[in-house]
Amino acid sequence: MAPFSKLNVEETLEQLTTAEKTGLISGIDFWHTFPVPRLGIPSLRFSDGPNGVRGTRFFNGIPAACFPCGTGLGATFDVELLEEVGRMMGKEAKAKGAHVILGPTINMQRSPLGGRGFESFSEDPVLAGFAAAAVINGIQTTGVVATIKHYVGNDQEHDRMAVNSIVTDRAMREIYLKPFQLAIRDSTPKALMTAYNKVNGTHVSESSFYLDDVLRKEWGFEGLIMSDWYGVYSTSESVNAGLDIDMPGATSFRGPLIGRAIGARKIKPSTLDARVRKVLELVNACTESGVEENAHEGTNDTPETTALLRKVAAESVVLLKNDSGILPLSKTKTTAVIGPNAKVATFCGGGSASLLPYNAVTPFEGIAAKLATPPTYAEGCTAFKTTPVIGAYTTSPSGKPGLQMKFYIEPETVTDREEIDCMDLQNANIMLMDYANEKILPNSPYYAVITAHFVPEVSSEYEFGVSVFGTAKLYIDDKLVVDNATNQRAGDSFFGSGSAEERGSVFLNAGQEYVIKVTFGSGITSKLMENATLLLGGGLRVGIVQKYSIEDGIASAVAAAKAADQVVLSIGLNNDWESEGYDRYNMDLPGATNQLVEAVLAANSNTVIILQSGTPVEMPWIEKSKALMHAWYGGNETGNGIADVLFGDFNPSGKLPLTFPIKVEDNPAFLNFRSENGRVLYGEDVYIGYRYYEFARKNVLFPFGYGLSYSTFSVSEPSFTIADAAAKPTSAADLGTLTLTATVTNTSGPAGAEVVQLYVSESSPIVNRPVKELKGFARVYLEPGESKTVTVSVSVKEATAYWDEVEDAWIAQKDTYTVSVGVASSTVEKVGEFEVAKTLHWKGL
């Protein structure tokens, strides 16, 4: 099948029937749009997501390249690298036969507790906007379309489809809309996805103000606007507001209802045409990718892909402490690797960002590959929220690693029931929202049996856990151990549709083979259907963990630490704790992690802590630690990226894209996070992240923009100029361009990179303003002893403006402004001042 051709949009629009037009403005399934073959209109394929391209299947999908999570990408402060990341995502999309990538995510991290905070780049809208533009530009150079999301105010998961985000106009413009504005200005994304939530009383998917007035008229956005999945709640309202396509299909609010709305004159025919026109224009944009309609889903697992993933994983790492020069570690000393994250590849967060990786390198594997002699290991404590998923240590009845899943139409009470499908799976984290079989009728239940063989290495009590959207029971050698069918409790699993995890324990003998069997009924069999938001295929998650006491676990870790010359302590969160569908309740590390850290630090002072999370955590032991690296969720090459930095094969250069507060109560959104009776008040206004901590003079654990290196750098001779300014400005554009220059020198240590950050502040504002705001940055790579001049440019109107709620426009106020430069928000030095001689207003990009 050949790639499809561009359409003459207006001629095609004239030839479409009303039924065809109605079909085009909603999806036909989870990932595809409506085709009209007679007019050459293909079915386009969409695919998640923000840190990799999954393809069309949550269930038993095609392996993919997983990049570091959004905060990890933001930590690079490297727009050239992020554009390269975008290009690789475009190649991945082509391999998956996808025309449109549902990413990047550029919502704001107003609280460390946001479940999807890890997906976004930064707490700062300028860094987020520049990072998003770079990724989009990279993606779209391949002809694949990028989709910025979630527009706007989708900054928490709690009650996300109903919550009313109450935000001042000024905060909305300066913080929450700003990254979208910058990304559209600098990259021209061809698609945008609306948020689930309301903003100031109206769902965004129904808001003509945000979709038409701001996005299309004020900013001149010409791309397609799609809903988030199941994020449409009306027919006429969403169509009239400017929402072009309702995803996924089959639609609940469009289809035949569009014809009725047109007949009732609630939707004008010209309005329907406007929505269809954007779909046809998207088709034309997608011709540039060369991807065929309904293309084969393949892979792009090449040495080039692996090399880039490893490079980005290393560049995302932020070195937070290195007292006494513990790092880099020696490759010849005896080494203990300790911690619950050591032998687990914590490569991505949960929800839409998750995917099946080509491979996933654990920190232990990455470290072991560097050492002359193998490291010792102790887990020390567990860090799971739900029991670790089975698959890594089990085998299918076919002998392959993982497990086997057989499907049936009838329940297990039916003797001699027909098996309709059978497959081997890598693990038992199973989402069936997109599973299909011709023998399963729509909205009808089906059933499955999961079987895995398990041989314990240690005689012990083992705990099994089952979460389900549907019903499930787990048996060990035909003995019932977990019942999550008879009585069910609502939980967070499967985007909030599933049950809480039910657990059961059984003693197992080392070396003996046991048969794990799970009987499953699809989503429609669930007793929790009132919570369901997914397709009725449902989902199942089965976990297993060896039980041991906290005391015994920490004792084994201490023994390992004492016996080694150097220790790597691998701790943090995982996709259980940070996921789409729910928020965190606190900033705590899981379980006994803090006890483990204290004990290991006391046992061996040469301990390096590797911390993985997508957003901040509390660190009560921070003063006792000498070396700390933050490694985010690092993608397929997580372990190798960590090891490259640990042993000095890569000089760390990452910077924090968000502030790490000391405790959760310090966060400005602490009193106003989570939905209360359907609303959340953005009471911190424009003061999120460093803007708040600096204004309130609050101490933080680690500031925005902070990150150490194995080298030392100097920033000297900073100066700035104002170019192209009119003598008598009549518009904000006449204020010209501010360009900062500075000389950066690698004064000691190996080759490495530094990030120069430009901040601007107003001297005598007539409204409260942050102490300073990031306006631009530049990353420079230097050999030992090398110096380079860096430049950072920004328009004066962007550098000075805030949103004037009286005039409903940006205002560059007549005043004196200070330019500062530094390598972190906490270490800036004043460069000089400039004047804006006349107050001017502006709108647009």
What's this model's pTM, rounded to 2 decimal places?
Answer: 0.96
Kindly tell me the sign of the dihedral angle through the C-alpha atoms of 682, 683, 685, 689: negative
pLDDT for residue 530: 64
What digits encode the pLDDT tens for the residues 734-762? 999 999 999 999 999 999 999 999 999 99
Q: Quick one: what percent of the chain has pLDDT higher than 90?
A: 93
**Residue 11: other Cβ atoms inside 10 A:** 9
Distance of CA 482 to the CA centre of its chain: 33
Q: Where in the chain is the domain with CATH 2.60.40.10?
A: 712-842
- pLDDT at residue 535, rounded to an integer: 61
Residue range(s) of every CATH 3.40.50.1700 domain in the chain = 309-378+560-687
Closest CA to 830 of 777, 772, 790: 772
Residue 529 has pLDDT above 80, yes or no: no
426 or 246: which carries more pLDDT confidence? 246
634-655 pLDDT, tens digit per residue, is 999 999 999 999 999 999 999 9
pLDDT at 351: 87
How large is the average pLDDT for residues 377-402?
94
Query: Which of 48, 78, 159, 228 does the annotation list as catalytic?
Result: 228
Residue ranges, CATH 2.60.120.260, the chain: 386-546
Choices 1.10.3720.10, 3.40.30.10, 3.40.50.2300, 2.60.40.10: CATH for 712-842: 2.60.40.10
Q: Report how far residue 199's alpha carbon sits from residue 679's, in angstroms, rounded to the nearest whole number.
A: 9
Amino acid 531: pLDDT: 54
**pLDDT tens column, 760-793:** 999 999 999 999 999 999 999 999 999 999 999 9
**CATH number of the domain located at residue range(s) 9-289 in this protein:** 3.20.20.300
Q: Give all strands of the β-sheet with 502-508 in edge-to-edge order.
A: 429-431, 539-546, 460-469, 502-508
Token reading at 452: 């895995």
The set of residues, in sequence order, having a beta carbon less than 8 Å from that of 444 and lying 6+ positions away, is 409, 524
pLDDT value of position 700: 98
Is residue 1's pLDDT more than 70? no
Taking CA atoms, 588 is separated from 110, 575, 693, in Å, by 18, 15, 20
For residue 21, name the pLDDT band (cuts at 50, 70, 90): very high
Give the strands of the sheet with 607-612, arranged side by side.
Answer: 318-322, 627-630, 607-612, 566-572, 335-338, 376-378
Q: pLDDT class for 49, splitting at 50, 70, 90?
A: confident
Note the pLDDT of residue 825: 97
Per DSSP, the residues of 457-511 read SS-EEEEEEEEEESEEEEEETTEEEEEESSS--B-STTTTTSBPPEEEEEEE-TT
Strands annotated E in 365-493: 376-378, 394-395, 403-408, 419-425, 429-431, 447-454, 460-469, 471-476, 479-484
* Mean pLDDT, residues 19-43 taken together: 97
Contacts of 283 (CB under 8 A, 6+ apart): 4, 6, 7, 41, 42, 44
pLDDT at residue number 3: 82
Answer yes or no: are the C-beta atoms of 688 and 156 closer than 8 Å: no
- pLDDT at position 532 is 54
* CATH architecture of the domain covering 309-378+560-687: 3-Layer(aba) Sandwich (3.40)
Between the alpha carbon of residue 678 and those of residues 48, 172, 227, 231, 675, the distances in Å are 28, 19, 21, 16, 5
Residue 602 φ/ψ, nearest 5 degrees: -70, -30
Q: Answer yes or no: is pLDDT of 795 > 90.
A: yes
Give the orientation angle of helix 79-95 with respect to helix 303-316, to 10 degrees. Answer: 140
Question: For position 60, what pLDDT does the model report?
Answer: 84
Summarize pLDDT for 836-845 with one digit per residue, the tens. 999 999 999 9
Share of the chain above pLDDT 70, in %: 99
Q: Residue 534: what pLDDT?
A: 54
CA atoms of 560 and 338, how far apart (whole Å): 8
Which tens digits make up the pLDDT trace of 651-688? 999 999 999 999 999 999 999 999 999 999 999 999 99
CB contact at 8 A, 404 and 422:
yes
Fold designation for 386-546:
Jelly Rolls (2.60.120)
Please give the average per-residue pLDDT across 133-148, as a whole number. Answer: 98
pLDDT the model gives residue 517: 98
Higher pLDDT, 530 or 20: 20
Of 845, 844, 733, 839, nearest in space to 795 by CA: 733
Burial of 287: CB neighbours in 10 Å, binned 0-12, 13-18, 19+ = middle
CA-closest candidate to residue 116, choices 106, 126, 101: 106
Asked if residue 533 has pLDDT above 60, the reply is: no
Confidence of residue 322 (pLDDT cuts 50, 70, 90): very high
pLDDT computed for residue 27 by the predictor: 97
Report the SS3 class of residue 63: coil
- pLDDT of the residue at 418: 95
Residues of the chain with CATH 3.20.20.300: 9-289
Task: Look over the chain and give the mean of its residue pLDDT values, rounded to a whole number.
Answer: 96
Confidence band for 155, pLDDT divided at 50, 70 and 90: very high
Half-sphere exposure of 519 (CA within 13 A, CB side): 17
212 has catalytic annotation: no
